[in-house]
Amino acid sequence: MTSPFCTIVPPHLLEHLAASENPAVAAAARRTLIADASARAARLLPRPAAAAPGAPAEPAAPRRTVHDAQRRTGLPGVKVRDEGDAATADATVNRAYAGLGATFALFRDAFGRDSMDGAGLPLIATVHYDEKYGNAFWNGEQMVFGDGDDEIFLDFTLPVDVIGHELAHGFTQYTANLEYFSQSGALNESVSDVFGALVKQHALGQTADRADWLIGEGLFHPSVQGTALRSMKAPGTAYDDDVLGKDPQPAHMDDYVRTGRDNGGVHINSGIPNHAFYLVATELGGHAWERAGLIWYDVMTSGVLAPETRFAEFAAATVAAARARYGDAAEIQAVTKAWATVGVPTD
């Protein structure tokens, strides 16, 4: 099986923009779709094996490298900042560097994990990818960020949860390796949204009740009628714009979208498990990474998930993980109630 090519902006949204009557918007979206197709074809790589985690002699530290593609598509580009280097004059480079660090810090401090593979995987990012590129992606080896088209999308390093989301695809790649299609693909996307949201909340020190639970807040141009790419609190409400269209995410299995596009709707149907996590986190209160996040992390690293895992199987695994970590306590009730609320059985 190959590692998926995972983007933050779903192809169905870019396809909608490519049909826009605004020539600048349509041209940028088409260029992004072409660049995505080219990058996807260029990196059909087998899943790498993680090195066996060992107890480090000293606290784990990130190994970050940021490159500049100089608006071309060759990867990784020119190295512009290495681990420990001073900030540069390029704010995009500095945001990418900080976002890699914030993601590393969440996994280390909240879960005791040394990078995405558990064994100190270097964190590599490339910024200024292509011209007017409206996306960010994980290609199985590194992060890549576009500058946006300044019509719909701004710089993709602006929201730290976008960085966390894409790096979390690496976490999934090295753990459950969920197949990027249909329900398992929607779970793959949801896990990235979950940990992307936790990266943002951890960096800001937010409790679950104070967080906005938005993915990609600050990414849209001010002219766009929308707050973010997705809302975990209220799937389907992140945007409603004449050019973008309306956010299609469901929050309940009754509204599950069956489609042949977007690998079976992986970016659309992720709203269902996303909402379940939001409900667990807010029911339990406090910092979301401390209990809800630990349950999801335990599931991902337990070895019980098959690549083709479906929603109900994942839900049952979260109940089992809550019981294993906390016993018959409030955590199990919160998890069971959340999945019932979104219409997913846990037994």
pLDDT tens digit string along 157-210? 999 999 999 999 999 999 999 999 999 999 999 999 999 999 999 999 999 999
pLDDT tens per residue, range 36-45: 887 876 644 4
Query: What pTM, to 2 d.p., does this model score?
Result: 0.93
Distance CA 143, CA 140 (A): 9
- CB–CB of 146/134 below 8 Å? yes
Helix (H, G, I), strand (E, B) or coil at 67: strand
pLDDT score at 1: 39
pLDDT score at 2: 46
| Domain boundaries along the sequence of the chain | 6-174, 182-341
pLDDT score at 45: 43
Distance CA 42, CA 36 (A): 10
Helix (H, G, I), strand (E, B) or coil at 4: coil
Residue partners of 331: CB distance under 8 A and separation at least 6: 284, 291, 295, 322, 325
> Could you tell me the sign of the dihedral formed by the alpha carbons of 3, 1, 191, 152, in that order?
positive
3-state secondary structure 39-70: HHHHCCCECCCCCCCCCCCCCCCCCEEEEECC
Beta strand spans in the chain (E): 6-7, 64-68, 78-82, 123-127, 136-138, 143-145, 214-215, 230-231, 240-241, 245-246
Residue type, 257: V
pLDDT score at 44: 42
Positions annotated as catalytic residues are 166, 267
Distances (CA, A) of 311 to 15, 150, 192, 327, 346: 27, 37, 15, 23, 9
- CB–CB of 128/137 below 8 Å? no
- The CATH class for the domain spanning 6-174 reads alpha beta
Q: Phi then psi for 220, rounded to 5 degrees?
A: -80, 150
| pLDDT tens digits in sequence order for the chain, 347 residues long | 345 688 999 888 999 899 999 999 999 999 998 888 878 766 444 444 444 444 444 568 999 999 999 999 999 999 999 999 999 999 999 999 999 999 999 999 999 999 999 999 999 999 999 999 999 999 999 999 999 999 999 999 999 999 999 999 999 999 999 999 999 999 999 999 999 999 999 999 999 999 999 999 999 999 999 999 999 999 999 999 999 999 999 999 999 999 999 999 999 999 999 999 999 999 999 999 999 999 999 999 999 999 999 999 999 999 999 999 999 889 999 999 999 999 999 98
What tokens were used for 39?
A: 């990058």
Pairing of strands 136-138, 123-127: unpaired
- The CATH class for the domain spanning 182-341 reads mainly alpha
pLDDT score at 39: 80
pLDDT score at 58: 59
pLDDT score at 36: 83
What percentage of the chain exceeds 70 in pLDDT?
Answer: 93
